[in-house]
Amino acid sequence: GQSLEQPSEVTAVEGAIVQINCTYQTSGFYGLSWYQQHDGGAPTFLSYNALDGLEETGRFSSFLSRSDSYGYLLLQELQMKDSASYFCAVRGGSTLGRLYFGRGTQLTVWP
C-alpha cells in the first residue's frame, strides 16, 4: 500500500521561509508532487520531482531524496495568499502510477 506523512499545520509570518516535509512509503515509486488547495477550492498543481534534487519554480521549490523516501516543499517570501493546504502526492502503485495524496499541511501566514 501507500502512506504519506506530512505535518498537519505550519504557521509563519509574511516574508518568511517555510519548509513542509513529506515522507512516503509506496510499492513502486515514479515521482512526488505537491498541490495547493485553498478553502473550498480544488487542488492545483505546484511541482513534480521524479529524480533526486531540487526543482525551483519562482518562490516555490521542491526537493526529493528517493533513497530516504523523503521530499519537501520550500516556500519563500511568504505572502498572505499562500495561506492554504499543501498536499504531497506520490505517483506509485501500479506500473501506470496512480496518484496518492497525503493528509495535507495547513499553512497559515500571519501579517
Determine if 48 is a binding residue for another protein (CB under 8 A): yes
Q: For another protein, what does the binding mask look like between residues 73 and 92, x meaning CB under 8 A?
A: --------------x-x-x-
Residue 89's nearest CA partner among 36, 19, 15 is: 36
C-alpha–C-alpha distance, residues 59 and 47, integer Å: 12
Neighbours of 28 (CB within 10 A): 14
Tell me: does residue 10 bind another protein (CB under 8 A): no
Least distance CB 27 / another protein (angstroms): 13
- Strand, helix or coil for residue 108: strand
Which residue ranges make up the site for another protein (CB under 8 A)?
30-31, 33, 35, 41-45, 48, 50, 87, 89, 91, 94, 96-104
